[in-house]
Amino acid sequence: MNLSQQDWISQLEADTNAVILDVRTEDECNEGIIPNAIMIDIYKGQGFIYQVEELEKNKNYYVYCKAGGRSAQACAIMNQLGFENTFNLEGGFMQWKGEVAFPEEK
């Protein structure tokens, strides 16, 4: 389901079963992420599917990318894998006005 930035944030804040998922590349994530996001690069193809399949299907996933295209694709893939509640951030990180964190160095 596509949500506007405002709806995505307000629904996320009220959701006690939420997981934030960033599907951008590592380089993009290094420019900043939404706090507490887990990062799984959709460009990894089958690797993306393997990692997503390890996630709990009963959680609510708030998915974003840079502009909203890849995250919409990720939501569609996740729905096919049996995830019932995926929410795509319209406009993606480019339009994000909320808090920004940086991934921890490995």
Catalytic residue annotation? 65
Pairing of strands 38-39, 60-64: unpaired
Contacts of 15 (CB under 8 A, 6+ apart): 60, 62
Structure tokens at 56: 């709990």
Of residues 22, 18, 4, 33, the one with CA closest to residue 85: 18
